[in-house]
Amino acid sequence: MKARTRAALAAPALTLAAMFAVAGPAAADTGTAQGDLTPVPLNGVDGSGTAMVWVDGTTLTVQVEATGLLAGSPHAAHIHYGADARNQCPTAADDADGSGTITTSEGVPSYGTVQVSLTTSGDTSPDSALAVDRFDTAEGGKITYERGEIEVSQDLADDILAGDAAVVVHGVDYDGSGAYDGDAKSDLDPSLPAEATDPALCGIVTASQMTDMPTGGVQTGSGGTQGTENLGLLVAGGAALAVGGGLLGAGVVSRRRTHRTDA
């Protein structure tokens, strides 16, 4: 009996602990960081863009809009940060080997390493840094990216809110051929041309006034967007059906009353 009582007392205590554990992240910092994306020097990109990051505890929603990118090609995009980095975008002085271009590696002393891969679906960790099939393709040279529910470490969330993270969009066209090609190999993956991975646009995102989340709710990348939207429609449809059913029920009731009054 005594053991049973103890167990019964322990259960609510655990539940309470679980509730606090859930409440923890929600009580963490929230805020937004945003920045303008500008061409990485020497890399021949005539483009621009904006990046916005909503931070809610350790969950990010990221929006990136950019133009002037190589059309019809996928553009890897990441949040970069480095504790030892300058937390700036590269300058022409970062062309360490004097090749006349800034490679991704040459940008690392300024913007740090890949922390988040801004993929359209699936994994968002640095493991997906070169998952070219899961990055946005620049239709007409433009990308419009939005994804929510990106989980990061508390440290990175703090670094972003501190204004130390960079959003970098990769993929350039040095020879103007209209495709990723050329003899120069990527410093990240020699099976890819350097054009596919060299940085095109960069922007440091810094704390900004709290801005409303994207309208239409948090979407989970273009891969997951479809599903989320459908889910939203399903839910909305279900609600409408419930309301409709209620109205129908009311109609039936009033009709009955009318009948009764007539009778």
Binding site for Cu ion (CB under 5 A): 78, 168
d(CA 69, CA 117): 18
d(CA 82, CA 246): 57
**Smallest gap from residue 185 Cβ to Cu ion (A):** 17
Is the Cβ of residue 55 or residue 78 nearer to Cu ion in the bound state?
78
Is the Cβ of residue 56 or residue 202 nearer to Cu ion in the bound state?
202
**Smallest gap from residue 118 Cβ to Cu ion (A):** 9
Is the Cβ of residue 132 or residue 168 nearer to Cu ion in the bound state?
168
| CB 158, CB 207: distance < 8 Å | no
**Smallest gap from residue 165 Cβ to Cu ion (A):** 11
Is the Cβ of residue 51 or residue 56 nearer to Cu ion in the bound state?
51
| CB 186, CB 194: distance < 8 Å | yes
d(CA 112, CA 167): 11
Is the Cβ of residue 48 or residue 228 nearer to Cu ion in the bound state?
48
**Smallest gap from residue 209 Cβ to Cu ion (A):** 27
Please state the separation of Cα 194 from the chain's center in Å. Answer: 25
**Smallest gap from residue 221 Cβ to Cu ion (A):** 17
**Coil/strand/helix, residue 38:** strand
The residues with which 52 forms a beta bridge, in sequence order, are: 34, 63
d(CA 20, CA 2): 28
Residue nearest to Cu ion (CB): 78
